[in-house]
Amino acid sequence: MTHTVFIEVGPLQEIRYAGISNVTLNLCRYWLQQPREASCFFLGPYLIDRGAIEMVVESRSGGLFQQLLIHKQAIAGFVANEVKRRPTPVALFPNVKSVEGVFGLSFQIVHDISFLVTPEFHHADTLAYHGLAILKDLGTNAHTFCVSQATAGDLATYLGVPADRITVIYPGADPPPEVDRYTQSLPDAAPSRPYIVVPGTIEPRKNIDLVLLGLQRIPQLLARYDWVFIGSPGWLIAFGDRIAQYGLSDHYRSGGDLELKHNIAAPAPRPLQTVMAGRIAIQFETNTRFWRKSESMRLVSSM
């Protein structure tokens, strides 16, 4: 018997899509391409209209979703009633569970537990939001999915989740159609200088400081390459202030224009896939709970 997958869409309310909200967006995009009877969408106790999700996915707009919710144009009833109509309902939560006791079978994606292992890198409301729910959520999961081996190890080590109830699923990289249309319209021109991309939300969990420290200590890297930091604004870091802290203000200009003569560009507005297409290297930021300095600096020190 075929299951009906109920996808929780709470992360789609975020104004800027990054990380968890992008995972949710692409889960919705996938299930919208399947037969209608295969899936439903919900948020808390409410069933969410499929047409509303189609508009939100097409526009990639958390603001639109918020307005649809405020004006009750996205609500199609109570999810509990729809669950009763389906013979084999299954819930998939891309983040924190927004409803309890409705589903007999539920699965959850846990992206990290940095709110427990590095609480100093989060606001108090974030700590409360995730910290008060994590054990309850894990206890009602039929199975838990993680986006990294590090998080899977944390769940087993710190929270006692059996390893056979965890599966690691790495996030994919499937650019939406508008990226192809954008890149095809760009002029056929190479950047004036080679550049290195540093992707990741601008926040203290990321190893931005290690990259900036490397640029401070090895000025030849600024002479040879442009450095492009790309990511949504996060929390607890003012990017310009961080640049000044390492004495790199003379090389910095925000806006993300790769043709500038400045050596460091701030978070860029153009699509990440477009910038990636011309890069010569990528410095991936990692959660500070797990990095080893020798590994994080390997790219910088080898140039």
Q: Which of 168, 195, 225 is the last residue of a domain?
A: 168
Q: Spell out the residues 6+ positions from residue 68 whose beta carbon is closer than 8 angstroms to its own.
A: 52, 55, 56, 74
Most confident of 101-110, 245-254, 260-269: 101-110
Q: Given this model, what pLDDT does residue 167 score?
A: 96
Q: Given this model, what pLDDT does residue 272 score?
A: 46
Q: Spell out the residues 6+ positions from residue 232 whose beta carbon is closer than 8 angstroms to its own.
A: 16, 17, 18, 201, 202, 267
Residues 161 and 218 in one domain: no
For residues 201 and 112, which has the higher predicted lDDT (pLDDT)? Answer: 112
Q: Given this model, what pLDDT does residue 200 score?
A: 74
Using CA atoms, how far apart are residues 269 and 99, in angstroms rounded to an integer?
35
Residues 156 and 253 in one domain: no
Q: Given this model, what pLDDT does residue 229 score?
A: 80
DSSP 106: E
Using CA atoms, how far apart are residues 113 and 106, in angstroms rounded to an integer?
20
Residues 8 and 129 in one domain: yes
Residues 125 and 25 in one domain: yes
Q: What domain range is 193 assigned to? A: 183-301
Residues 10 and 131 in one domain: yes
| Measured CA distances, 119 to 114, 178, 285 (Å) | 7, 37, 18
Angle, helices 62-70/50-59, rounded to nearest 10 degrees = 150
How many CA atoms within 13 Å lie on the side-chain side of 112? 21
* Residue 174 lies inside a defined structural domain of this protein: no
* Residue 208 lies inside a defined structural domain of this protein: yes
* Residue 101 lies inside a defined structural domain of this protein: yes
Q: Is 156 exposed, middle or buried (0-12, 13-18, 19+ CB in 10 A)?
A: middle
Number of H helices, E strands in the chain: 15, 13
Residues 16 and 122 in one domain: yes
Mean pLDDT on 83-107? 94
Residues 206 and 150 in one domain: no
- CATH number of the domain encompassing residue 107: 3.40.50
Residues 79 and 213 in one domain: no
pTM: 0.70
Total structural domains within the chain: 2
Residues 36 and 142 in one domain: yes
Going by pLDDT thresholds of 50, 70 and 90, the confidence category of residue 194 is confident
Which of 24-38, 83-97, 153-167, 222-236 is predicted with the least confidence, judged by mean pLDDT? 222-236
Most confident of 29-43, 239-253, 287-301: 29-43
Q: Is the pLDDT of residue 173 over 70?
A: no
- Name the strand (E) or helix (H) holding 129: helix 124-131
* Residue 176 lies inside a defined structural domain of this protein: no
* Residue 173 lies inside a defined structural domain of this protein: no
Q: Spell out the residues 6+ positions from residue 37 whose beta carbon is closer than 8 angstroms to its own.
A: 2, 4
Residues 262 and 204 in one domain: yes
Going by pLDDT thresholds of 50, 70 and 90, the confidence category of residue 75 is very high
Tokens of 250: 């003379």
* Residue 175 lies inside a defined structural domain of this protein: no
* Residue 98 lies inside a defined structural domain of this protein: yes
Residues 83 and 223 in one domain: no
Residues 155 and 144: beta-carbon distance below 8 Å: yes
Q: Is 2 exposed, middle or buried (0-12, 13-18, 19+ CB in 10 A)?
A: exposed
DSSP output for 151-204: HHHHHHHHH---GGGEEE--------HHHHHHHHTS-S---SS-EEEEES-BST
DSSP 38: G
Report the SS3 class of residue 60. Answer: coil
Residues 121 and 232 in one domain: no
Q: Which of 168, 202, 235 is the last residue of a domain?
A: 168
Q: Which of 109, 141, 168 is the last residue of a domain?
A: 168
* Residue 132 lies inside a defined structural domain of this protein: yes
For residues 193 and 297, which has the higher predicted lDDT (pLDDT)? Answer: 193
Q: Is the pLDDT of residue 160 over 80?
A: yes
